[in-house]
């Protein structure tokens, strides 16, 4: 396996009028599972195709292992077939006229391996994926999940240095997606494989990735571990993109009152000190406050918790827990609910630990970082 480094990658279409990838840099360590995440049109697939060698970028450099495979500046371009990468597409892209066995053997035949070796490798991959009994079938005779497994097998059989996966679970139904996701992660661990995985599904990203590179409009918004992106989103976009159900966002104004600084969000008021920020907020600054649904609870976790009185709009049961949609002074609040069953119209009191509230400055949406060691015991006060 090998590491992958992307430096200053730039791709544009229509003679520079549409910028698909805008000076993106990141690196993926040996054996790391990296997810390129973002809404459609953010350039994630283009980056993957640049790594694969299917697209020549306008600028930038790509290094696989210790070999420069693409460099616009040094005019280096290694052909896709010479990069020792394997790619899995969302559409499976199985050769329709070949059997599963022939599909798996195809890349090895291209490498000119001896027949014996091809057979051994195909057999062992088929066993690893549990598709031995499908070897003589054609793609048309397989279900979606089986096809995806064969596509994965065709990548595995090559024993490449890097796996590139372009929304490989996109065409599977929900149940199968969870199952194949698990298998993929297991195989990746087992082989200590370097994988770069493209998806727009943040759940997939959070569950699979060692590192997430979150993109928007061809630019990196944030890169880091799933935990980092979830707990320390660098801006409003990251905060609202990561997490399901999405973060509650409410606008507030910073104002001095009773000798202290407060953020008045309408629904509630909170002392700036209680937010435990790493820097102070100037009076009359406009901010966006973000609260994760999981950080809202029906019971207080400490006496300093904010109290929000709300009316139940809808409770969506999810089996072991529920998603609560409630209204408070016209503000829609979403919370992960583990308490008793609630009826629409019922009054409910919600509690939020103010230190868990994310603060973003407006209009740029940048995150105001938290203080490293939180000062405890500062109270907040709900206005309702």
Partner 1 sequence: MRGLLSKVVVLALLLTVTALYLLPLWGALTTSLKTDEEIDLTSPIAWPQRPTAAGYINAFNYLKRALLNSVLITLGGTLGSVGLGAICGYALALYSFRGANLVFLLLAAGIFLPFQAILIPLFQTIRTLRLYDTIGGIVLAHTAYGIPMCAVMFKTFYSEVPKALVRQAVTDGSGPWRFYWKVVFPSTKLATVTILIFQFTSIWNELLFGLVLGGPRSMPATVALNNLVGTLAAQWNIQMAGSLLLTLPVLIVYIFLGRYLVRGYMAGAVTAV
Distance from C-alpha of 6 to C-alpha of 122, rounded to nearest angstrom = 32
Task: Report if residue 95 touches partner 1, rule: CB under 8 A.
Answer: yes
Contact with partner 1 (CB under 8 A) among 121, 154, 271, 358:
154
Beta-ladder partners of 370: 277
Task: Report if residue 122 touches partner 1, rule: CB under 8 A.
Answer: no
Burial class (CB in 10 A: 0-12, 13-18, 19+), 25: middle
Task: Report if residue 97 touches partner 1, rule: CB under 8 A.
Answer: yes
The secondary structure of 76-108 as a DSSP string is EE--GGGTTEEEE-TT----TTS-HHHHHHHHH
- The residue (of 49 and 70) whose beta carbon lies closer to partner 1 is 49
- The residue (of 55 and 263) whose beta carbon lies closer to partner 1 is 55
- Say how many CA atoms lie within 13 Å of 338 toward its Cβ: 8
- The residue (of 93 and 327) whose beta carbon lies closer to partner 1 is 93
Task: Report if residue 136 touches partner 1, rule: CB under 8 A.
Answer: no
Grouping H, G, I as helix, E, B as strand and the rest as coil, residue 111 is coil
CB of 15 to partner 1, least distance (A): 15
Task: Report if residue 110 touches partner 1, rule: CB under 8 A.
Answer: yes
Which 36-75 positions form the footprint of partner 1 (CB under 8 A)? Answer: 49, 52-54
Contact with partner 1 (CB under 8 A) among 96, 303, 319, 363:
96
Stretch that binds partner 1, among 28-36, 57-65, 93-101, 188-196 (CB under 8 A): 93-101
Stretch that binds partner 1, among 9-17, 23-31, 104-112, 169-177 (CB under 8 A): 104-112
Contact with partner 1 (CB under 8 A) among 140, 282, 341, 372:
140
Task: Report if residue 113 touches partner 1, rule: CB under 8 A.
Answer: no
The b-or-e profile of 288-323 (16+ CB within 10 A means b, else e) is: bbbbbbebbbeeeeeebbbebbbebeebeeeeeebb
- The residue (of 81 and 280) whose beta carbon lies closer to partner 1 is 81
Task: Report if residue 168 touches partner 1, rule: CB under 8 A.
Answer: no
Distance from C-alpha of 321 to C-alpha of 296, rounded to nearest angstrom = 13
Q: What DSSP designation does 56 have?
A: -
Stretch that binds partner 1, among 84-92, 193-201, 203-211, 341-349 (CB under 8 A): 84-92
- The residue (of 96 and 330) whose beta carbon lies closer to partner 1 is 96
- The residue (of 102 and 210) whose beta carbon lies closer to partner 1 is 102
- Residue 58 near residue 11, CB atoms below 8 Å: yes
Q: State the Cα torsion 226-228-229-235 to the nearest 10°.
A: -170
The secondary structure of 154-179 as a DSSP string is HHHTT--SEEEEESTTTTS-HHHHHH
Contact with partner 1 (CB under 8 A) among 87, 152, 184, 193:
87
Distance from C-alpha of 341 to C-alpha of 334, rounded to nearest angstrom = 15
The footprint of partner 1 (CB under 8 A) covers: 49, 52-54, 80-81, 85-87, 89, 91, 93, 95-98, 106-107, 109-111, 138-140, 154, 158, 164
């Amino acid at each position: 396996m090998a590491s992958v480094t992307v430096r200053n990658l730039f791709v544009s279409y229509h003679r520079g009028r549409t910028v698909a990838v805008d000076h993106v840099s990141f690196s993926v360590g040996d054996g790391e599972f990296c997810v390129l995440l973002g809404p459609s049109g953010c350039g994630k697939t283009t980056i993957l195709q640049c790594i694969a060698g299917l697209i020549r970028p306008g600028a930038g450099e790509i290094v696989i292992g210790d070999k420069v495979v693409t460099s616009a500046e040094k005019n280096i371009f290694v052909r896709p077939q010479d990069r020792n990468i394997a790619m899995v597409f969302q559409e499976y892209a199985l050769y329709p006229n070949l059997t599963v066995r022939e599909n798996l053997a195809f890349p090895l035949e291209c490498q000119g391996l001896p027949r014996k070796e091809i057979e051994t490798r195909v057999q062992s991959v088929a066993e690893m994926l549990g598709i031995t009994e499908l070897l003589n079938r054609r793609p048309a005779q397989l279900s979606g999940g089986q096809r995806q497994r064969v596509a994965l097998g065709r990548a595995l059989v090559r024993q490449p240095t890097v796996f590139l996966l372009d929304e490989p679970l996109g065409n599977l139904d929900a149940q199968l997606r969870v199952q194949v996701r698990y298998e993929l992660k297991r195989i990746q661990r087992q082989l200590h494989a370097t994988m770069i995985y493209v998806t727009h599904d943040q759940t997939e990203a959070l569950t699979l990735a060692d590192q997430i590179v979150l993109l928007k409009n061809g630019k990196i918004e944030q890169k880091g571990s799933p935990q980092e992106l979830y707990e320390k989103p660098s801006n409003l976009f990251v905060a609202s993109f990561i997490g399901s159900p999405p973060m509650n966002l409410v606008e507030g104004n910073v104002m001095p009152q009773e000798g202290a600084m407060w953020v008045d969000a309408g629904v509630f008021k909170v002392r700036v000190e209680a937010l435990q920020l790493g820097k102070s907020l100037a009076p009359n600054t406009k901010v966006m406050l973000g609260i994760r649904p999981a950080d809202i609870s029906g019971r207080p976790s400490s006496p300093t918790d904010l109290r929000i009185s709300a009316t139940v709009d809808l409770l969506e049961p999810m089996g072991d827990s529920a998603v609560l949609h409630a209204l408070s002074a016209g503000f829609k609040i979403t919370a992960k609910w583990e308490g008793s069953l609630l009826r629409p119209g019922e009054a409910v009191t919600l509690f939020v630990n103010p230190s868990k509230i994310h603060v973003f400055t407006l209009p740029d949406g940048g995150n105001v970082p938290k203080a490293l060691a939180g000062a405890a015991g500062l109270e907040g006060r709900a206005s309702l």
